[in-house]
Structures are given as C-alpha cells and as structure tokens.
Amino acid sequence: MAQRRMVSPKITDTDVFLDMPLSSQALYFHLNMHADDDGFIDNINTIKRMVGASTDDEKLLIAKQFIIPFEDKGIVVIKDWRIHNYIRKDRYTPTIHNDIASRLTVDSNGSYQMKTDDKVDVTGSGQPDVNQMSTNGIPLVDAGKVRLGKDRLGKTNTMSSSNEHDESLVSATKQIIEKINQLSGRKFRVTDSAKRLVKPRLVDYTLDELLEMLEYKWNDWSDWDGRYNAFQPETLFRAKNTDKYIASMQAEPVKKESDSNDWLSNITEAADNA
C-alpha cells in the first residue's frame, strides 16, 4: 500500500468545500490520509474519534457528496479519490472491498459515481470502470444527485430580488420568525437584521426546507439545557450552521419530543421492562 497521499485544490479550493465548518474539512483530510489505495475507509468512526469530529461532520460530507457511504457495510469511499491521487502500479494495492467497488463507476472527471441500471461493469474485474462511455459517446454520470449549493437542480429559489424590502423576502422571513417564536415561545420580530440573515439561506435552500430545519433542530435539542438561548436567528441561520443542520436533518428522521399526555404509557412501559 502506498503511504503518500495527495489532495487536489480542484476539490478543496471550491466554495462548496470551504463553506463547510473546519471540523468537517479536517475530517475530510484525515479520511484521505487513512483511505486504502482505492479511496475506501472502513473505520470512519475511529477516525472521527481520533480527530474530534462529530457525526454531523460525517453527514455533511455525505450530503455535499464528498464521500459516498455504504451503510450496509459501514464503509465510505472518497468520491474524488482518483482526482486527488495517482498511485504507481508497483506501489498500488487493490482494495479488499471488491463487492463494494463493483457498485461504482468512474465518470469522465475521475470521480466515483454509484452505478445505475444503465451503467454496467464491462471490465469483468469487479473494479470501477474508468471513463465508461455510453453508446453515443457521452460519459455516463449519475445525475440522480447534485451537490448542495447555489446551483441545486429541481429547487425553486425563493429569492427573486436583492432588495431587502422585496415582498418575497419579507414574507419568507416573517414565516421563519413566526416558526421560531411558535416553537420557542420567544418574541423575535422581522427586522432588517433578520432579513439579512435569512436572505442568503434562501439562495441555497427552499423556504420549506428552512422551516423543516427549524422543527428538526428544536426537537433535536430537546435534551439540551441551552436550547432556549441557542434557538435564535443568529445561530440558526449562520451559513455553516444551516448547512450542517440541514445535512443532519436529511440524513436522519426528525426526533419527536415525548408528548406530555404519554406520561402514563411511559411509566407503564418502564414498569413492564423492569
């Protein structure tokens, strides 16, 4: 196995990468350092503990498509591994995860993509196909997933104007503030400061996604004493925080708070399990 690893600025100098929290960036670099010669990592939890990264950092890398997870195997692969590293044949050790490698193909840019039905491994080796072409000469690229960011396909941008007094921005900010107040019992107002916080988030996400994120974080923080103070626009709509929260929300179902009317059933269940 080769011991030297490289990282290409074509990936790490992009806005999508640099907009992530430093903890997520650090996890990505360490995953690159510990991957096998085909970019596979089978001990991501160990690496997270080693560098002090969180599960949210892992989820953000998955949501931004910097790594591809295989949850049934507990393995991830660096999506752009072949852009980062070229390993000489005399130093190359093939991955031991051939069953997973056979699920991947490599697009014309050198990035791993999950195979779809029309992407067939024609090599017969169980390894990802390099520069596989369709019958019309166009590289086969998985269009089913796109990176989160300003060019998200299939998402309608709520912002129609850069004017902070634009009706769509005022309406969206009002709904967001009302949602925060409804969940927390606080009394935030629709101020210019609030609109400035919400405005760039509406470029990257839809209003529905932001409202769903608020519901998710209120429930996610249900066991945290600092929830009331943290649940405010300045925290929720800071760019790096919003990206992280939505990535976490998309990776797992919303945790519901226990209904106060269920106290009797909870006690009964506890007694039954005693």
Residue 137 backbone zone (phi > 0: left; psi -120 to 50: alpha; other: beta):
left
Picking from 91, 95, 124, the residue whose alpha carbon sits closest to that of residue 112 is: 95
| pLDDT of 156 over the 50 cut | no
Mean pLDDT in residue range 225-254 = 84
CA distance readout (Å), 212 to 152, 159, 167, 183: 18, 18, 22, 12
The whole-number pLDDT of residue 28 equals: 95
Picking from 20, 17, 19, the residue whose alpha carbon sits closest to that of residue 7 is: 17
Work out the pLDDT band at 116, boundaries 50, 70, 90: low
Which residues lie below 8 Å from residue 246, measured CB to CB, with a gap of 6+?
63, 148, 205, 209, 213
pTM: predicted TM-score of the whole model, two decimal places = 0.42
Task: Supply φ then ψ for residue 152, to 5 degrees.
Answer: -75, 125
- Residue with token string 């000469």: 137
* Sheet strand arrangement including 112-114: 112-114, 104-106, 129-130
Work out the pLDDT band at 130, boundaries 50, 70, 90: very low
Q: Say which residue, 128 or 206, is predicted with more confidence.
A: 206
Work out the pLDDT band at 152, boundaries 50, 70, 90: very low
Contact 101, 126 (CB under 8 A): yes
